[in-house]
């Protein structure tokens, strides 16, 4: 004897946030029921396990039916099948597109392909997040990527508009898309200490300053691809390290400015040329796609690690980079002021963000 069919349909679709989260987390109905029982909802409402099971199944079914719409959030607002109040709709969408930093960290910068999707069971094992949830998150990344790939206009705005996401979440997705598009290497051991939020911050910097969109806001892929012209111009910065005079001049300007202001002055002075070479070389190589991918690893190897081994504090780094940037402007023979500002602005904020003490 068994209940063969059990449905509940409300004119206003009833959705319990807690159950929704369990569904999003990829729980099976039975696991979700267990979690709910542990959560004490039974005592609270005098319900039996049976009731809880029925409710959970029913809601999971509702979510499943809604999933098709959630994948195209704009449809959710003008579909007729489910009557859902707008604030609920917003909640559903936001939570559906929410992701675990741990999961996204694993796939960040990877090609959003079937191959990557197949590796999700490793991600699941590593993060302890169910495979189902990993897949949903991955599919979300891919879906957003596919949609905005072909759109004109600002990336974040496009994401907001097409997926009705709140600002912060849209920015995170922009970062993910940006990383996937440029295939930045983030998986190397040396980069493991960086969180998704670190990268998202850097992505924001790059999008706002280094992409085509930073100068022209009506071209395709404007926020996804780096500004080729700018990258080309970056080659000109090489003069800062190839011209011996300029290099010395730059060094002495920075040393004068920093003397007495930092405890690591000696290390800085000794390392100046190395550090400067590192940063300028990164700039000069960015025309090369392969080197773009290694951008972050380069920053770590060429700058962050040397400073770390000399025990610089974040304040030291900040001080150094500020004066390093500004001093170049005083150099008479250095003509590439604009490119330098555009370059160093991003480099500085990225390094500061990536410099964990």
Partner 1 sequence: MPGKLKAKIVAGRHLPVMDRASDLTDAFVEVKFGNTTFKTDVYPKSLNPQWNSEWFKFEVDDEDLQDEPLQITVLDHDTYSANDAIGKVYIDIDPLLSSEAATVISGWFPIYDTIHGIRGEINVLVKVELFNDLNRFRQSSCGVKFFCTTSIPRCYRAVMVHGFVEELVVNEDPEYQWIDRIRTPRASNEARQRLISLMSGELQRKIGLKVLEMGGNAVVGYLQCFDLEGESGLVVRAIGTACTLDKLSNTYTPATAINPCNSSPSKDIKDSPQAVPSALGCRSTHSSPVHSASSRLSQGFSVSVPTLLFAGMGSGGSAGKEAGPLKALLRQQTQTALEQREFPFFTLTSFPPGFLLHVGGVVSARSVKLLDRIHNPDEPETRDAWWEEIRQEIKSHAKALGCHAVVGYSESTSICEEVCILSASGTAAILSSRFMQDSALDTEHRFEDLMSPGCAFCHIPYDELNMPFPAQLTYCHCCRRYKVPDVLFTTIDLPTEANVTGKGCLIQARLCRTKKKAQGEGNATAISNLLPFLEYELHTQLMNKLKLRSMNALFGLRIQISVGENMLLGLASATGVYLTALPSPGGIQIAGKTPSDITYEQHISNMQKKINDTIAKNKELYEINPPDLVEEVIGSPIPEPRQRSRLFRSHSESSDEVSELDLSHGKKDAFVLEIDDTDAVEDIHSLLTDAPTPPGFYSCNTEIMPGIYNWTSALQMFTSVRVFRLSNVNLTNQGLNKVFNDLCENLLKSLYFKLRSMVPCCLCHVNFTVAVPEDELIQVAVTAVAMSFDKDQTQENGRQSIDKNLMKAITENEDQLQFPLELSAESSSNPLNSAKGLSEVSGPLPSARAPSVDYSSFTDRCSSWIEQLRLKAHTIRCGSIKTMSSLEKASPLPEGRSRSLRSNRSYAGSSVTVVKMTPLSFIPGTKIIKYLGIINMFFIRETTSLREEGGVSGFLHSFIAEVFAMVRAHVAALGGNAVVSYNMKECVFMENPNKNQAQCLINVSGDAVIFVRESELEATPPQPHSASAQTSSSGEGT
Residue partners of 44: CB distance under 8 A and separation at least 6: none
Q: Which of 78, 115, 150, 260 binds partner 1 (CB under 8 A)?
A: 78
CB of 76 to partner 1, least distance (A): 10
Q: Choose which of 26, 32, 62, 177 interacts with partner 1 (CB under 8 A).
A: 62
Residue 186 is encoded by which pair of tokens?
Answer: 């983030």
Nearer to partner 1, 147 or 246 (CB): 147
Residue 53 phi, psi dihedral angles, 5° rounding: -65, -45
Task: Please name which of 341, 331, 348 lies closest in space to residue 244, comparing C-alpha atoms.
Answer: 331
How far apart are alpha carbons 349 and 108 in whole angstroms? Answer: 20
Find the binder of partner 1 among 39, 49, 50, 329 (CB under 8 A).
50
Of residues 279, 296, 287, the one with CA closest to residue 344: 279
Rounded Cα–Cα distance for residues 5 and 61 (Å) = 12
Distance between CA atoms of residues 187 and 340, nearest Å = 29
Q: Cβ closer to partner 1: 18 or 102? A: 18
Q: Which stretch binds partner 1 (CB under 8 A): 81-89, 130-138, 246-254, 340-348?
A: 81-89
Task: Mark the segment that binds partner 1 (CB under 8 A) among 46-54, 155-163, 191-199, 311-319.
Answer: 46-54
Choice between 70 and 129, CB closer to partner 1: 70
Instruction: Work out how close the CB of 33 gets to partner 1 at its nearest, in angstroms, rounded to a whole number.
Output: 13
Question: Binding partner 1 by CB under 8 A: which of 30, 75, 197, 274?
Answer: 75
Q: Which residues pair with residue 104 across a beta bridge?
A: none
Site for partner 1 in 2-31 (CB under 8 A): 2-14, 16
> In terms of CB distance, is 59 or 137 closer to partner 1?
59
Q: Looking at beta carbons only, is 91 or 255 nearer to partner 1?
A: 91
Half-sphere CA count of 26, side-chain side, radius 13 A: 13
Of 262, 354, 271, the residue nearest 316 (C-alpha) = 262
Size of the residue set binding partner 1 (CB under 8 A): 43
Report the C-alpha gap between 290 and 287 in whole angstroms.
9
Angle (deg, nearest 10), helices 167-182 and 86-97: 30
**Is there a contact between 323 and 258 (Cβ–Cβ < 8 Å)?**
yes
Q: With binding defined as CB under 8 A, does residue 54 bind partner 1?
A: yes
Indicate the residue among 42 and 297 with the shorter CB distance to partner 1. Answer: 42
Among 23, 27, 82, 340, binds partner 1 (CB under 8 A): 82
Closer CB to partner 1, 5 or 290, in the complex: 5
- Site residues for partner 1 per CB under 8 A: 1-14, 16, 44-48, 50-52, 54-55, 57-58, 61-62, 64-65, 75, 77-83, 85-88
């Amino acid at each position: 004897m068994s209940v063969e069919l059990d449905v509940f349909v409300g004119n206003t679709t009833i959705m319990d946030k807690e159950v929704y989260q369990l569904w999003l987390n990829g729980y099976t109905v039975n696991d979700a029921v267990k979690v709910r029982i542990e959560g004490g909802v039974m005592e609270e409402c005098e319900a039996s396990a049976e009731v809880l099971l029925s409710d959970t199944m029913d809601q999971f079914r509702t979510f499943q039916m809604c999933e098709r719409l959630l994948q195209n959030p704009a449809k959710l607002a003008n579909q007729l099948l489910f009557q859902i109040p707008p604030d609920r709709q917003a909640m559903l969408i936001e939570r559906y597109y929410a992701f675990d930093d741990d999961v996204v960290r694993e796939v960040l910068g990877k090609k959003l392909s079937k191959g990557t999707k197949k590796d999700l069971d490793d991600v699941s094992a590593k993060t302890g997040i169910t495979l189902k949830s990993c897949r949903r998150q991955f599919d979300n990344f891919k879906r957003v990527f596919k949609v905005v790939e072909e759109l004109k206009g600002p990336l974040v705005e496009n994401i907001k508009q097409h997926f009705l996401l709140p600002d912060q979440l849209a920015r995170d997705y922009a970062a993910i898309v940006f990383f996937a598009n440029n295939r930045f290497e983030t998986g190397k051991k040396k980069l493991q200490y960086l969180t998704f939020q670190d990268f998202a911050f850097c992505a924001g910097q790059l999008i706002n300053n280094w992409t085509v969109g930073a100068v022209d806001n009506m071209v395709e892929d404007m926020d996804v691809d780096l500004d080729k012209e700018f990258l080309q111009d970056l080659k000109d910065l090489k003069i800062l390290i190839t011209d011996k005079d300029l290099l010395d001049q730059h060094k002495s300007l920075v040393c004068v400015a920093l003397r007495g202001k930092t405890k690591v002055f000696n290390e800085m002075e000794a390392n100046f040329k190395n550090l400067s070479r590192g940063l300028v070389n990164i700039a000069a190589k960015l025309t090369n796609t392969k080197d773009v991918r290694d951008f972050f690893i380069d920053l770590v190897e060429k700058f962050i690690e040397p400073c770390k081994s000399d025990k610089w504090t974040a304040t030291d780094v900040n001080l150094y980079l500020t004066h390093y940037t500004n001093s170049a402007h005083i150099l008479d023979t250095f003509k590439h002021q604009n490119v330098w500002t555009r370059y160093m602005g991003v480099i500085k904020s990225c390094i500061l963000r990536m410099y964990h003490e």
